[in-house]
Copies of this chain bind each other. A is one copy, B any other.
Amino acid sequence: MQKQQQLDQWVRAVAESGEKLNGAERRSFLKNGLALLGGAGLAGAASGTAAQAMPPGIPSWTRSLGSAVNTNPYGMPSPHESNVQRRTVEWLTADKIASVSFTPLADLKGIITPSGVVFERYHAGLPDVDPNQHRLMIHGMVDRPLIFSMEDLMRFPSVSMIRFLECPANGGMEWRAAQMDRLQFSHGMLSCCEWTGVLLSTLLQECGVQKGAKWILAEGSDGSHMSRSIPMEKAMDDALIVYAQNGEALRPEQGYPVRLINPGWEGNTCVKWLRRLEVGDQPWYHREETSKYTDLLPSGKAREFTFVQEANSVLTNPCPEKPLTKPGKIWVEGLAWSGRGRIKHVDVSFDGGVSWREARFTSVVEPRALTRFGVEWDWNGNPALLQSRAVDETGYVQPTYGQLRDARGSSSIYHKNAIHTWKLNGDGSVVNAQLA
């Protein structure tokens, strides 16, 4: 085939450029390499997934020196990736000071969420906290009320955990069947970072918790004084007083210089810019655990203190932002997570839940962490209904919308973890299609 000959010629030219560019052939190679630009053909494809790329010429960056080392003492993504950013939904909240921005899940890989694009949720805006002035106080039903500077906190044993963090309102718009048009907006109040800090139990031991103490109030130092009541069991289990995120100091948006992380629990309980922990014998019933962050049931009553984010999953490829460009083999992948522990099993359906295929895990599988899964699929070009269904190590199975609404009605805002459906159209485009 003529195409194969052209390809072979190009392959040889590129190969020679690597082996000869330091020698006398440099000049003649460049001439030759560039001359090939116009006539280059297509690579032979061994299967549906195989390469079909048009070989370009020898690009400019191969023929020149780049920029010096440490031009950027703190590096940033390539300018070609400027589309990967947090975004807001204009109509969602009345004020940008008390609002949310969403993680661009469609463009992310693996399980770590880059700190720069972790979703934001503020109740009184993003404060600029001076770590030298910031203090964390523990008081109430303790033998020794104590105040910790950041330097004090660093003297205690440190622990690092990879854990997801999700706003309980993630996907909340879908309770009443609104269908957000992007993965970023349907599931983007979700993230997963390596969090480092001191176990809350370590600090409580230092203070001496008194008999009868059962709850802890965690309060932020931002203008909203965001506060939540946390049961002592969680405080003594894996609750972490966090000062670092993905290896470096906590980001301002995430509570710099110190926050609470309750692994697997509502993001709202993970109070940011943490300044105060009060130990008591009953919950405080503050604003953000009564008028908000409760689930209105069909009976008219509301569930409260529904801390755990139960098993959930979503496909990230394909998705509305990542349509398919052509039929053939593709890698269908997604994220699963459970506040109850490790993800044990994920199934994927291509026919709206009629039949299922087991996905495989392609990341570390940590408890209460995002878990990446995937499955190979040979798309025949027909429309399809794509779903994923997660099961965690406690045996909890992610419910359908029907099951979820049977149990909780449709007036909730929080804890939407139903099986999600992407409708793949024949042209490769993908839309949010809620199935019962």
Please list the residues of chain A having a beta carbon within 8 angstroms of any beta carbon in chain B: 7-8, 11, 14-15, 17-19, 21-22, 43-47, 49-53, 55-56, 59, 61-81, 84-88, 96-97, 99-101, 107-118, 120-122, 124-135, 137, 139, 144-149, 151-152, 154-160, 162, 194-196, 206-208, 217, 219, 221-223, 225, 227, 243-244, 246-249, 251-253, 256-257, 273, 275-276, 278, 284, 287, 317, 325, 328-331, 333, 362-364, 366, 372, 374, 376
Contact = CB atoms under 8 A, between A and B. Distances in A.
Contact of A246 (B88, B114, B133, B160): B114
B14 A66 contact: no
Contact of A276 (B14, B76, B114): B14
Given A74-B86, A126-B71, A278 B15 contact: yes
Nearest to A56: B133
A251 B75 CA distance: 8
Contacts of A72: 253
* 3 nearest A-B residue pairs (beta carbon): A66-B125, A110-B160, A109-B244
A116 B70 CA distance: 11
A252 B63 CA distance: 17
B51 A17 contact: no
Given A17-B225, A145-B11, A160-B362, A206 B56 contact: no
B52 A73 contact: no
20 contacts: A11-B147, A14-B275, A18-B276, A46-B146, A51-B206, A59-B129, A59-B134, A61-B221, A62-B127, A65-B97, A66-B125, A67-B126, A68-B96, A68-B99, A68-B125, A71-B126, A108-B244, A109-B160, A110-B196, A112-B194
Contacts of A137: 11, 14-15, 55
Contacts of A99: 68-70
Contact of A127 (B66, B257, B317): B66
B86 A70 contact: yes
A128 B208 CA distance: 56
Given A66-B122, A70-B88, A75-B251, 14 more contacts: A14-B137, A19-B284, A43-B147, A47-B206, A59-B221, A61-B222, A61-B273, A65-B125, A78-B252, A80-B257, A108-B247, A154-B331, A155-B330, A159-B362
A404 B195 CA distance: 36
A107 B150 CA distance: 14
A357 B81 CA distance: 47
Contact of A66 (B70, B126, B147, B330): B126
A49 to B, nearest CB: 5
Contacts of A317: 154
A144 to B, nearest CB: 5
